[in-house]
């Protein structure tokens, strides 16, 4: 019989991260760390995933809301100070954010000059948008149950 040490902290495992469907052909799966676009799976880097998590949270809380570049720099890049050697790596932090956004857009299947899902506006920042009728969270547990029911 298994006994648990009373001194051992009792903690619950974190809930699985959700997926979000932006269009019929496009799903961001935060648990698997990938984008499914037209059936093709594309892995996200740490910063790409964090960018999408921040933008998704904003989209769900305020569909018309934007995240400023200054806010994204503060969240996605390490703390930079004048004395820090890492400043040489990011001489223009705003440009570093643009590079991350460009990579994410490519994985979303966006047209470079006509982004549909990851939009930007001068002096406002970036915004994640879903096609009409989409933009809802997909629970991994419900999806798994649905697969089991379809198998039976």
More confident residue, 18 or 7: 18
Say if residues 42 and 108 touch (Cβ distance below 8 Å): no
Integer Cα distance of 18 and 32 in angstroms: 10
Q: Report the predicted TM-score, pTM, of the whole model to 2 decimal places.
A: 0.77
Q: Please write the tens of the pLDDT for every residue from 13-42.
A: 555 678 899 999 999 999 889 999 999 999
Instruction: Give the right CATH number for 19-151 from 1.10.10.10, 3.40.720.10, 3.40.50.2300, 2.40.160.40.
Output: 1.10.10.10
Contact, 65 vs 58, CB < 8 A?
yes
Instruction: Please give the structure tokens belonging to residue 120.
Output: 């930007």
The domain ranges of the chain are 19-151
Which pLDDT score is estimated for 152?
A: 45
Q: Tens of pLDDT along 96-146? A: 899 999 999 999 999 988 999 999 998 899 999 999 999 888 765 545 544
């Amino acid at each position: 019989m298994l006994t648990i040490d009373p001194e051992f902290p009792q903690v619950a495992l974190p809930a699985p991260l959700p997926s979000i469907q932006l269009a019929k052909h496009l799903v961001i799966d935060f648990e698997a760390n990938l984008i499914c676009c037209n059936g093709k799976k594309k892995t996200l880097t740490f910063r790409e995933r964090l960018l999408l998590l921040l933008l998704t949270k904003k989209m769900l809380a305020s569909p018309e809301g934007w995240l400023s570049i200054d806010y994204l720099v503060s969240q996605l890049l390490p703390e930079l100070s004048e004395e820090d050697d890492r400043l040489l790596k990011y001489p223009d932090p705003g440009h570093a954010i643009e590079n991350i956004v460009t990579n994410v857009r490519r994985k979303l299947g966006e047209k470079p000059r006509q982004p549909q899902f990851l939009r930007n506006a001068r002096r406002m920042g970036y915004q994640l948008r879903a096609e009409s009728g989409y933009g809802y969270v997909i629970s991994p547990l419900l999806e798994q149950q649905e697969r089991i029911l379809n198998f039976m």
